[in-house]
């Protein structure tokens, strides 16, 4: 069966790279911001859509409202890593994962113990003064009441996440491209092959096998070498155990 085939591919792989889709964070109790009901609720409360508020322009022009939303919505629930993430960390400890690439901003792989994590969109756990670059913790932002400012230079503190309108961080992009180029197996968790932000990755990756683990079928799934349907939090621990 396919589970045995996946296990074999992983066992024989020399450089497996894992791509984590944002949908996987639903297992962890984090709602996706672009889901329509969430967006509607935000818009009726704040008068702006999540995309408008979480933009670099909005951060500069309306920092008070940005931070009200950021504290109330984004920092109110970072979720807890699900069994999928712990299985991924175990896979990495076994030496079978070289890099984990994610657009998740809640640090879920890292919190589960993963080491080589490439966070394409940054993390809510990293925050910096925009001027002197002093680091601040997520707790510093949570306990702030207005716009959080640096205790050294009084400049505004910015979460190190990619806001709409931000350029992609070049260093992070390079690490990601390098990892993909060296990969012989791409293990994609809850990702569609045309998933925005990753379509170029799949297009560039010609050297090996693509394995998809996902709950919902998609018409492009047939382009992958192997697909396993089901809950990733059940499939991945089973695969790791069988290795």
Active-site annotation, residues: 121
Around Cβ 136, how many Cβ atoms within 10 Å? 20
x-or-dash string of contact with Zn ion, 125-154, rule CB under 5 A = ----x-xx-x---------------x-xx-
CA angle 42, 103, 211 (to 5 degrees): 125
Q: Indicate the residue among 132 and 168 with the shorter CB distance to Zn ion.
A: 132
Strand stretches in 132-238, DSSP E:
135-136, 157-161, 185-189, 209-214, 226-229
Shortest Å distance, C-beta 107 to Zn ion: 23
**Shortest Å distance, C-beta 157 to Zn ion:** 8
Residue window 85-124: x/- pattern of binding to Zn ion, with contact defined by CB under 5 A: ----------------------------------------
With 0-12 / 13-18 / 19 or more C-beta atoms within 10 angstroms meaning exposed / middle / buried, residue 20 is: buried
H or E segment and range at residue 169: none
Taking the complex as a whole, how short is the minimal distance between the CB of residue 144 and Zn ion, in angstroms?
14
> How many whole angstroms separate alpha carbon 237 and alpha carbon 98?
18
What the block records as the tokens of 63 is 């920092």
Residue 243 found at the interface with Zn ion (CB under 5 A): no
150 is in an annotated binding site: yes
CB nearer Zn ion, residue 153 or residue 173? 153
Nearer to Zn ion, 81 or 148 (CB): 148
Site string for Zn ion, 160-199 (x = CB under 5 A): ----------------------------------------
* Cβ pair 243, 11 in contact under 8 A: yes
153 is in an annotated binding site: yes
Q: Which is nearer to Zn ion, 59 or 202 (CB)?
A: 59
Is 211 in contact with 224 (CB distance < 8 Å)?
yes
CB atoms within 10 A of CB 58: 19
Instruction: Mark the binding-site residues for Zn(2+), compressed into ranges.
Output: 129, 132, 150, 153
Given the rule CB under 5 A, which residues bind Zn ion? Answer: 129, 131-132, 134, 150, 152-153, 155
């Amino acid at each position: 069966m396919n589970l045995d085939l996946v296990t074999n591919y992983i066992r024989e792989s020399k450089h497996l790279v894992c791509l984590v889709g944002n949908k996987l964070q639903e297992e962890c109790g984090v709602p996706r911001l672009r889901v329509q009901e969430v967006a509607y609720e935000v818009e009726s409360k704040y008068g702006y859509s999540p995309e408008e508020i979480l933009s670099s322009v909005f951060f500069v022009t309306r920092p008070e409202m940005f931070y009200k939303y950021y504290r109330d919505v984004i920092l109110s629930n970072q979720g807890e890593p699900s069994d999928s993430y712990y299985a991924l960390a175990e896979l990495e400890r076994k030496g079978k994962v070289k890099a984990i690439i994610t657009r998740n901003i809640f640090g879920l792989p890292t919190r589960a113990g993963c080491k080589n994590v490439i966070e394409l969109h940054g993390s809510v756990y990293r925050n910096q003064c925009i001027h002197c670059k002093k680091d601040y913790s997520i707790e510093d932002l949570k306990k702030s009441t207005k716009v959080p400012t640096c205790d050294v230079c009084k400049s505004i503190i910015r979460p190190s996440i990619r806001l709409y309108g931000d350029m992609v961080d070049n260093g992070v992009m390079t690490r990601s491209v390098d990892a993909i180029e060296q990969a012989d197996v791409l293990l994609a968790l809850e990702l569609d092959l045309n998933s925005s932000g990753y379509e170029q990755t799949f297009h560039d990756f010609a050297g090996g096998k693509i394995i998809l683990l996902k709950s919902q079928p998609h018409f492009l799934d047939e382009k992958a070498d192997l697909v396993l349907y089901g809950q990733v939090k059940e499939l991945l621990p089973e695969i790791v155990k069988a290795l």
